């Protein structure tokens, strides 16, 4: 009788491995490059490219608003988008734990395929391995991505200038809280979903409108506070955020207040921090607001000369505190 779960034999490289690939992977990711059945894909690249790689070990693998598969695609796409590169190709390696059900695997692969199709990205190389029951956590995914650079010079902190505006493309903290909700039954009614989304379309729209982007970052692990601190240190300028301008959904804020978490340090998987000249900020926001993933974009702060290398938060009551990179991890295994 045919197994209903992944077994060690599916990692043998023989007939069952072929069945695993043909029945679960190829129907979702078929394209001429992948269908060549070569040990390496042959790609024609005659442009300057960006290249990135990442690994995903989120627990659990399904959470409100996403799966580890959707997360893997979005995370790689957004790393490319944050340097102004149009994502084109992906590779993926899958570490499957013995006992993973076909239903679970197919749901992860479906979410990957849907997200890749939305972003117009091709999976051109992949590999699978199987580990013993208890040696993994259902499924781990490692991805790499190639994108064509669409902007020159590349957005980076050293291009930031005094007076620049700091934008964020939407509310923060949703992904971290969504994963926490999936782990704890007492949060099952919390109306929070992960913001996991592919963001190249936002960047493409800004570039098409010739918005001069000085720097971009996606505030994933460590959240907005860590990105602000890293930008300040890398640029040797001051990054000042206004607390009352940072969009935070009410359920996220309420949960953070109850648990003693800081939403500024929670992970996001569908947001960009974008630094543009102050004169271009309103037009940039207008463009972002027209996009599905940018409707709640806000100007949340400014770049200043002093204090050099520090990120600051101006509170609602008029105080100021230094924002530092997150030390430790309040919510492990969130991506």
What's the whole-number average pLDDT of the chain? 93
302 in the same domain as 170: yes
Q: Residue 219: give its domain's CATH number.
A: 3.90.650.10
Sign of CA dihedral 316, 317, 323, 329: negative
As given in the structure block, the two tokens for residue 170 are: 């939407």
Residues of the chain above pLDDT 90, percent: 76
- What pLDDT does residue 19 have? 83
Identify whether 333 is part of a domain: no
Domain end call among 117, 149, 181: 149
Does 328 score more than 80 pLDDT? no
77 in the same domain as 170: no
267 in the same domain as 123: no
Does 331 score more than 80 pLDDT? no
Does 286 score more than 80 pLDDT? yes
- What pLDDT does residue 40 have? 87
Identify whether 132 is part of a domain: yes
Does 134 score more than 70 pLDDT? yes
Over residues 73-117, the pLDDT tens digits come to 999 999 999 999 999 999 999 999 999 999 999 999 999 999 999
- What pLDDT does residue 46 have? 77
Identify whether 241 is part of a domain: yes
- What pLDDT does residue 15 have? 84
| φ/ψ (deg, to 5) at 78 | -70, -30
270 in the same domain as 138: no
Identify whether 313 is part of a domain: yes
303 in the same domain as 241: yes
Domain end call among 90, 122, 149: 149
- What pLDDT does residue 259 have? 87
**Based on the structure, what is the number of domains in the chain?**
2
- What pLDDT does residue 38 have? 75
- What pLDDT does residue 9 have? 84
Identify whether 334 is part of a domain: no
- What pLDDT does residue 166 have? 98
Give the list of residues 6+ apart from residue 293 with CB closer than 8 angstroms, or none. 169, 170, 197, 199, 201, 202, 270
Over residues 228-256, the pLDDT tens digits come to 999 999 999 999 999 999 999 999 999 99
- What pLDDT does residue 186 have? 58
Q: Residue 12: give its domain's CATH number.
A: 3.30.1330.10
* Site of tokens 């599916």: 10
CA 187 to each of CA 177, 181, 223, 249, 287: distance values in angstroms, whole numbers, following the listed order = 9, 5, 21, 16, 35
Q: Find the mean pLDDT for residues 323-335.
A: 79
In this prediction, residue 185 has a pLDDT band, given cuts at 50, 70 and 90, of: low
Q: Find the mean pLDDT for residues 53-72.
A: 96
Could you tell me the end-to-end alpha-carbon distance of the chain, in angstroms, rounded to an integer?
A: 36
254 in the same domain as 106: no
Identify whether 101 is part of a domain: yes
Q: Is 193 exposed, middle or buried (0-12, 13-18, 19+ CB in 10 A)?
A: middle
Query: How many other C-beta atoms lie within 10 A of the C-beta of residue 310?
Result: 18
Task: Determine which of 14-28, 42-56, 68-82, 152-166 has the lowest per-residue pLDDT on average.
Answer: 14-28
15 in the same domain as 138: yes
- What pLDDT does residue 32 have? 86
Domain extent for 257:
157-323
Identify whether 279 is part of a domain: yes
249 in the same domain as 302: yes
- What pLDDT does residue 329 have? 66
Over residues 31-46, the pLDDT tens digits come to 888 887 778 888 888 7
Annotate the chain with three-state secondary structure. CCCCECCHHHHCCCHHHHHHHHHHHHHHHCCCCHHHCCCCCCCCCCCCEEEEEEEECCCCCEECCEEHHHHHHHHHHHHHHCCCEEEEEEEEEEEEECCCEHHHHHHHHHHHHHHHHHHCCEEEEEEEEEECCCCCCCEEEEEEEEEEECCCCCCCHHHCCCCCEEEECCCCCHHHHHHHHHHCHHHCCCCCCCCCCCCHHHHHHHHHCCCCCCEEECCCCCHHHHHHHHHHHHHCCEEEEEHHHCCCCHHHHHHHHHHCCCHHHCCCCCCCEEEECHHHHHHHHHHHHCCHHHCCCEEEEEEECCCCCCEEEECCCCCEEEECCCCCCCCCCCC
161 in the same domain as 145: no
Domain end call among 115, 149, 183: 149
225 in the same domain as 98: no
As given in the structure block, the two tokens for residue 181 are: 């909700």
270 in the same domain as 227: yes
162 in the same domain as 229: yes
Separation between Cα atoms, residue 140 and residue 331, nearest integer Å: 18
Over residues 299-326, the pLDDT tens digits come to 999 999 999 999 999 998 888 999 988 7
Q: Find the mean pLDDT for residues 202-214.
A: 98
Q: State the pTM of this model.
A: 0.93
Identify whether 331 is part of a domain: no
* Site of tokens 């957005």: 155
Q: Find the mean pLDDT for residues 65-79.
A: 98
């Amino acid at each position: 009788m045919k197994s209903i779960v992944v077994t060690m034999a599916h990692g043998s490289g023989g007939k069952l491995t072929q069945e695993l690939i043909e029945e679960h992977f190829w129907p979702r990711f078929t394209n001429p490059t992948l269908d060549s059945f070569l040990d390496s894909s042959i790609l024609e690249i005659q442009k300057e490219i960006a290249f990135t790689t990442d690994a995903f070990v989120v627990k659990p693998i399904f959470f409100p608003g996403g799966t580890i598969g959707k997360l893997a695609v979005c995370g790689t796409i957004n790393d490319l988008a944050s340097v102004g590169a149009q994502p084109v190709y992906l590779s993926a390696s899958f570490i499957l734990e013995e006992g993973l059900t076909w239903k679970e695997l197919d749901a992860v692969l479906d979410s990957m395929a849907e997200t890749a199709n939305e972003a117009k990205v091709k999976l051109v190389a992949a590999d699978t391995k199987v580990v013993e029951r208890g040696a993994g956590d259902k499924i781990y995914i490692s991805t790499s991505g190639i994108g064509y650079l669409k902007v020159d010079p590349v957005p980076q902190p050293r291009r930031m200038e005094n007076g620049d505006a700091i934008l964020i493309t939407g509310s923060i903290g949703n992904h971290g809280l969504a994963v926490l909700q999936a782990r704890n039954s007492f949060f099952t009614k919390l109306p929070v979903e992960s913001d996991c989304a592919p963001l190249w379309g936002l960047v493409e729209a800004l570039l098409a409108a010739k918005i001069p982007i000085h720097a971009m970052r996606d505030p994933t692990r460590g959240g907005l506070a860590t990105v602000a601190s890293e930008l300040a240190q890398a640029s040797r300028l001051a990054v000042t955020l206004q607390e009352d301008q940072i969009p935070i959904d009410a359920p996220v804020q309420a949960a953070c207040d109850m648990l003693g978490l800081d939403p500024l340090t929670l992970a996001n998987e569908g947001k960009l921090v974008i630094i543009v000249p102050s004169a271009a900020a309103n037009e940039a926001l207008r463009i972002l607001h027209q996009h599905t993933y940018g409707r709640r974009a806000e100007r949340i702060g400014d770049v200043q000369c002093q204090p050099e290398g520090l990120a600051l938060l101006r509170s609602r009551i008029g105080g100021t505190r230094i924002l530092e990179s997150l030390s430790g991890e309040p919510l492990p295994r969130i991506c």
